[in-house]
Structures are given as C-alpha cells and as structure tokens.
Amino acid sequence: MASAGRVLVRFGRALARHCPDSRCCVELLRAAEQTHTISSQLAIVARVKAVTAESKASSELLVSNAQNLTQAVVQVLKAAEAAAIKGLQQPPPGSEGEEVAAFCTQWRRTLSWHRARESLNPERDELGLRKTQVRAEPTLMAMVRGQPPQSKNDP
C-alpha cells in the first residue's frame, strides 16, 4: 500500500509540472507531499511491525496510517480532477507527463460526455425543472480502480 502511495505521489507531481493554474499546482504539490509523508510513515511502521512481536497497539497504528494514506490519496485525486478541469499544458512527447496528461484528458472527456448526456435528459419534475443526475459523475478514483460510474441508487 505504501508503494502504491508513492506511485500516486509521482502522478501528482508530474501533473503539477504541466498545470498552468498556480492554485491547482500548489494544491497538487501539497497533497502529493502529504501522501509521500504518510506513505513513508506507513512503510516504516510496517517494517517495525514485521520484526516485532504482535501487539494490538502496533496493529492499530498500522491500520490508522493505512486509513490516513487512503484519505491523502483521495486528496491527490481531487486536486488532479481540479487541475484536469482547468486544463493542462502539453507535455513533451515520450515523457511521464505525457502519459499522466493523457489519462487526465481521457477522464475529462468522459466527464464532458456524461454531463452532455445528463443535460439532454428530457425528464422534468413538477416545477418544470430538469431532473438531475441518474448516474454519478465519473471520478478519477473510479478510473484508477477501473470501475464505471455507479448509479446514485446503487449500494
């Protein structure tokens, strides 16, 4: 889990290098740094736990750090969504940034397609207002997991 956190740190930093919006860039770098710190802590705690006797306190610390890493990863992905919406600069061909930008561009197209489809929804409520989303908007988290957007009514 700690190594997966480091992968997202690289993703966030690569995306920040190609983000023309300074606020989005700062937020991405902040979230990536926080993820890096928590990922390092988790790796240390896991190594210590592996060589020490089984204890409830060390298990709780390990679980707590894993939960903190999950929250930090979500923050990186939210910041990445904001940066992708604002737009990205074109990275040099063959760079890691090109792959990251392509991934974000694919998500942005999916989001635009979803929003366009929802805006064409002819269903209206009793006030004549268009009914809102039948399905949740696609997120980068869902794309990372490889899941399609779920209906709001799905468990």
Pair 123, 132: CB distance under 8 Å? no
Burial label for 79, CB within 10 Å (0-12, 13-18, 19+), is buried
Q: Domains of the chain (ranges plus CATH)?
A: 1-145 (1.20.120)
- Percentage with pLDDT > 90 across the chain: 34
Question: What pTM was computed for the model?
Answer: 0.74
Query: What digits encode the pLDDT tens for the residues 110-138?
Result: 888 888 877 776 677 777 776 665 567 77
Distances (CA, A) of 30 to 25, 56, 146: 9, 32, 26
